[in-house]
Amino acid sequence: MVSIEWDILLLQMLTFLIALPMIWNWLLKPLVNKLKERENFIKESVEKVENERKEIERLKQEHEKGMKEIEQRSKEALAASIAEGEKVRQKMIEDAKEEGSKMIQQAKKEIEMEKEKAIVEVRDKIVDMSFLIVEKIIKNKVNKKAQMGIVNKYIKDIEKRVN
């Protein structure tokens, strides 16, 4: 049978009770403290990473929002530029039409003036020739045949001058 030696058991218990606080203070307590520090460090790191992830997500959303705004503004600016260009083009076309119309009117006026001037010159020439013909007829007092010859001669002169 097993016999219990009480003095050894008592000595072992006493040694265990004395050694336990020493082991606790020298080995286990620093180890537990290091484990708690490590656990706190890990918790802080996880929280920090989570906060940074949230911040990155927020910045990403702000960036996307900003890019959408920039894209919208650029589309609006492009549309405004196109509209402004179209207005300028229409204005240029209208100005060109108006200028062309003015030029046509001016040309018509000039043609009309030249026409009137030519008519006046022709009238003056006809009057001058008529006086010359009458003068020749009166000076020469010729017959009908001679008068026709003089008229034909002056008509030929007129044709030469005109051409």
54: confidence class by pLDDT, cuts 50, 70, 90: very high
pLDDT at 141 over 90: no
- Cα 65 to its chain centre, rounded Å, is 23
> What is the tens place of the pLDDT at every residue in 104-134?
999 999 998 988 888 778 777 777 777 777 7
pTM: predicted TM-score of the whole model, two decimal places: 0.41
Angle between the 29-140 and 144-162 helix axes, to the nearest 10 degrees?
Answer: 160
DSSP per-residue string spanning 29-82:
HHHHHHHHHHHHHHHHHHHHHHHHHHHHHHHHHHHHHHHHHHHHHHHHHHHHHH
Whether 150 contacts 134, CB under 8 Å: no
Residue showing tokens 């020749």: 136
pLDDT of residue 147: 67
